Copies of this chain bind each other. A is one copy, B any other.
Amino acid sequence: MNKNVALIGVSGYAGTILYQLLKNHPKVGTITLYGHRDVGKHLSEIQPDLVQYGQVDPVINQFDPQKIMKEADAAFFASSAGVTNQIAGTLIEADFPVIDLSGDYRLSDPKSYEKWYKKPAAKADDLKKATYGLCEFHPKLSRYVANPGCYATATLLGLAPVVLNNLIDLDSIIVDAKSGVSGAGKKLAPGSAFMTVNENLTVYKANRHQHIPEIVQELKNWNPQLRSIQFTTTLLPITRGIMATIYAHVAKGIQDPEKIISQAFIDTYEDKPFIKLHGSNLPSIKDAAYSNLDAIGWQYNPVTGVILIVSVIDNLLKGAAGQAVQNFNMMFGFNERIGLPIVPIMI
* Residues on A facing B (Cβ under 8 Å): 13, 16-17, 20, 47, 49-50, 52-54, 171-172, 174, 176, 178, 181-182, 186, 188-190, 192-203, 206-207, 228-230, 232, 234, 236-241, 243, 245, 247, 272-276, 282, 284-287, 289-290, 293, 299, 301, 303-304, 306, 308, 310, 312, 316, 342-347
Contact = CB atoms under 8 A, between A and B. Distances in A.
Given A239-B198, A247-B230, A276 B203 contact: no
Contacts of A47: 346
Contact of A299 (B207, B282, B286, B299): B207
30 contacts: A49-B286, A49-B344, A52-B293, A53-B273, A53-B342, A181-B198, A182-B347, A188-B189, A192-B193, A194-B237, A195-B239, A198-B238, A199-B199, A199-B238, A199-B239, A199-B240, A201-B312, A202-B282, A203-B284, A203-B310, A206-B282, A207-B299, A207-B303, A207-B308, A230-B304, A236-B236, A236-B237, A237-B238, A239-B347, A316-B347
B273 A54 contact: yes
B194 A193 contact: yes
A284 B200 contact: yes
Given A171-B304, A198-B237, 10 more contacts: A172-B172, A188-B188, A192-B195, A199-B285, A199-B289, A200-B289, A201-B236, A202-B284, A230-B304, A230-B306
Given A344-B49, A346-B16, A306 B198 contact: no
Nearest to A269: B53
B347 A17 contact: yes
A76 to B, nearest CB: 17
A163 to B, nearest CB: 16
Contacts of A171: 304
A171 B176 CA distance: 18
A42 to B, nearest CB: 16
A55 to B, nearest CB: 8
Nearest to A12: B347
Copies in the complex: 4
A286 B199 contact: yes
Given A53-B276, A273-B54, A299-B206, A181 B200 contact: no
Given A238-B237, A239-B347, A247-B230, A194 B186 contact: no
A203 B282 contact: yes
A79 B238 CA distance: 32
Contacts of A229: 304
Most B CB contacts (10 A, CB to CB) among A49, A203, A229, A344 go to A49
A222 B275 CA distance: 44
A207 B310 contact: no
Given A20-B343, A306-B174, A346-B16, A188 B193 contact: yes
Contacts of A49: 286-287, 343-344, 346
A31 to B, nearest CB: 14
B347 A301 contact: no
Of all A-B residue pairs in the complex, the 10 with the closest CB atoms, nearest first, are A176-B176, A202-B284, A194-B197, A230-B306, A194-B194, A201-B285, A230-B304, A200-B286, A188-B188, A181-B194
